[in-house]
Amino acid sequence: MITLGEFTGLLMSDFLQARKMADACAASISEEYHVNPLLKGMPVPRYTISEAEIDVPVQIAGVQQVKVGEEEMKKLLMKIEKVLPTLLYRNIKNCYYEKQEERVFRQNGTIEPEEVGVKITADSGEKEKAVVIKLSELPDLKESYKRSAASICTLMNQYMDTYIKENVISDMKLLDFTDVFTETLKSVTKQEFGIYPDEQTPFINKNSLKKMCRIIGSTMFFEFKEIFEQQEGVLIIPETGKMEQNCTPEQVMRMKIKIREQDVDFIVNRDDETGETDRFLALS
């Protein structure tokens, strides 16, 4: 069986494929008219129709209802395993640089472009300006952040796996599941970076950590959405022959689709420098 939406899409796709074949013939003829001196300037025939109608019988078999089952739960975990590592480390680095900029602003009163990643030597009697230290200049701290990100991801995989197994995810709303993910991430991240000295943690304060987790949660929301909000649909049986045999015309439901055709122009673009031509079809 197939959903009504999928069936309609296939009908439209096949119709457009037929149109492409007609367009190819029209393009070939148009090119011949363009290069043939005997035909040049004459009206080019086009394969066009004012309107096409697809009329097919269909039989409704039921409604396809989508629930988050075992397979969908596995996909949720796969999403977390695949997307979270890169997403988390990138946001940790962003938080580090926000903290650096906040430190520079607090000491200098402003952040100038040349202060980012550039060491400024103090002149006579002047106080040395604070600068943003690039993470690449602190290889040990950078590696420590990478290890922490990997540790957080490992724990998140374990915790979310346990949560999914112990709860009825099919009854949950997408937003509620995302909230659980975000709160779990906040707890695990706080625990991981709680062992860091204050000067080495990437977060300005607790609000900075919460903000990062909300940003990651918002991104994962759209990853989870693909699984939670799969399309439901009407299931149909498009077996025309069987319906004609087993039903009277009055008993058969019919679906009609009307498609309006548009003229197609054959365009030739010529490159004046190379002499090459680019031919394509355009709707007029």
Question: What's the mean pLDDT in 2-10?
Answer: 76
Whether the full predicted model's pTM is greater than 0.75, yes or no, is: no
- Whose tokens are 């290069």? That residue is 35
In terms of residue numbers, what domain contains 150? 70-228
CA atoms of 45 and 156, how far apart (whole Å)? 65
- Residue closest to 17 by CA, chosen among 259, 268, 275: 259
The verdict on 167 and 149 lying in the same domain is: yes
β-pair partners for 51: 260
Q: What is the pLDDT of residue 281?
A: 44
The verdict on 22 and 96 lying in the same domain is: no
The verdict on 79 and 217 lying in the same domain is: yes
Q: What is the pLDDT of residue 188?
A: 97
Q: What is the pLDDT of residue 182?
A: 96
| Beta carbons within 8 Å of 181's beta carbon, 6+ residues apart | 80, 160, 217, 220, 224
CA atoms of 166 and 92, how far apart (whole Å)? 30
Q: What is the pLDDT of residue 110?
A: 63
Of 181, 210, 228, the position where a domain reaches its end is 228
Question: What's the mean pLDDT in 72-100?
Answer: 92
Q: What is the pLDDT of residue 68?
A: 64
- The CA-atom distances, in angstroms, between 61 and each of 1, 44, 67, 244, 248 are 8, 48, 19, 16, 18
Strands, sheet with 51-64, edge to edge from the N-terminal-most edge strand: 2-3, 233-237, 51-64, 253-260
Q: Out of 18-32, 122-136, 171-185, 253-267, which region has the weakest mean confidence (pLDDT)?
A: 253-267
Q: Which two tokens stand for residue 91?
A: 């946001």
The verdict on 198 and 265 lying in the same domain is: no
Q: What is the pLDDT of residue 253?
A: 76
Q: What is the pLDDT of residue 256?
A: 80
CA atoms of 123 and 253, how far apart (whole Å)? 88
Number of domains into which the chain is organized? 2
The verdict on 53 and 186 lying in the same domain is: no
Q: How many CA atoms lie within 13 A of 261 on its CB side?
A: 18
The verdict on 208 and 76 lying in the same domain is: yes
CA atoms of 32 and 19, how far apart (whole Å)? 20
The verdict on 249 and 215 lying in the same domain is: no
- The CA-atom distances, in angstroms, between 192 and each of 73, 147, 244 are 27, 10, 68
The verdict on 45 and 82 lying in the same domain is: no
- Whose tokens are 């395993």? That residue is 81
Of 211, 228, 245, the position where a domain reaches its end is 228
The verdict on 84 and 214 lying in the same domain is: yes
The verdict on 96 and 51 lying in the same domain is: no
In order, the DSSP letters of 98-134 are HHHHHHHHHHHSS--GGGBT------TTPPPPP-BPP
Question: What's the mean pLDDT in 112-118?
Answer: 47
| Beta carbons within 8 Å of 9's beta carbon, 6+ residues apart | none
The verdict on 217 and 252 lying in the same domain is: no
Q: pLDDT for 218-240, tens place per residue?
A: 999 989 888 887 656 677 777 66
Q: What is the pLDDT of residue 261?
A: 58
Of 209, 228, 247, the position where a domain reaches its end is 228
Check if the beta carbon of residue 238 is closer than 8 Å to that of residue 5: no
Question: What's the mean pLDDT in 152-181?
Answer: 91
The verdict on 43 and 174 lying in the same domain is: no
Local confidence band at 283 (pLDDT 50, 70, 90 cut-offs): very low
